[in-house]
Homo-oligomer: A and B are copies of this chain.
Amino acid sequence: MRVLIVEDEKGILNFLRDGLKEENFAVDTAQDGNTGLELALVNDYDVVLLDWMIPGISGIEVCRQIKKEKRSVPIIFLTAKDTVQDTVFGLEAGANDYIRKPFQFEELLARIRVQLRSTNEEDSALTFEDIYLNLDTRQVFKGKREIQLTQKEFALLEFLIRNKGKVCTRTRIIEHVWDIHFDSDTSVIDVYINFLRKKLDEDGKESCINTVRGVGYIMREV
């Protein structure tokens, strides 16, 4: 899940970035309106956090522009202001939600989850056959057995399951899970597929992750 944070105050920015990374988001940041807008238009984010008062183009304007091109990206305003006026402006500009500073990180997280939930229509769990992924607790079960996964393993499995039934090309995987854009020469995917298979597959049975030679991988339900 990719997030863009547009916020000029360094302290808050770092706080948010670190917190969200811990929650396994791929985080991009911008400290002014222009950069923020550009990033938002170029990339596909799952949610955008937008400060109200930023240098360059105002938050409201950034919001308006993003919504013009990409209707579906959820935008959450972070704002110190709290008059009714401003809130109305924000929502008119197309924001999906807003949160007043200072806020509890937990609350922000909750609001982000709400937004994600509404676009994808999933709860905080993903499943594939007898594999169960709880996104809240980061627990993974294979049947009744709990499986310990590292961050990257979890992210890769999450991506594969979200795209179950479709071939995930190496390029897409490296972009969504590793956030690498211009390096095609790495075998890190192979290694992690191998890790997942070792942890998830049962002896004798076919792997739950299929290889599509020359292309990528797919989790295909039988």
Contact = CB atoms under 8 A, between A and B. Distances in A.
Given A137-B167, A138-B215, A151-B215, A181 B105 contact: yes
Contacts of A177: none
A1 to B, nearest CB: 14
A205 B150 CA distance: 23
A190 interface: no
A95 interface: no
A53 to B, nearest CB: 16
Interface residues of A, number: 48
Interface stretch (A7-15, A60-68, A84-92): A7-15
A72 interface: no
Give the number of times this chain occurs in the complex, counting copies.
Answer: 2
B100 A184 contact: no
Nearest to A12: B182
A107 interface: yes
Interface in A150-164: 150-151
Contacts of A41: 100
Given A11-B183, A218-B137, A150 B213 contact: yes
Nearest to A21: B214
A15 B215 contact: no
A102 B214 CA distance: 25
A30 to B, nearest CB: 14
Nearest to A218: B137
Interface string A98-123: 01101111110000000000000000
Contacts of A99: 42
A38 B104 contact: no
Given A137-B167, A214-B151, A215-B22, A15 B184 contact: yes
A201 interface: no
A49 to B, nearest CB: 14
8 contacts: A12-B182, A14-B184, A15-B182, A15-B183, A22-B214, A23-B169, A42-B99, A106-B175
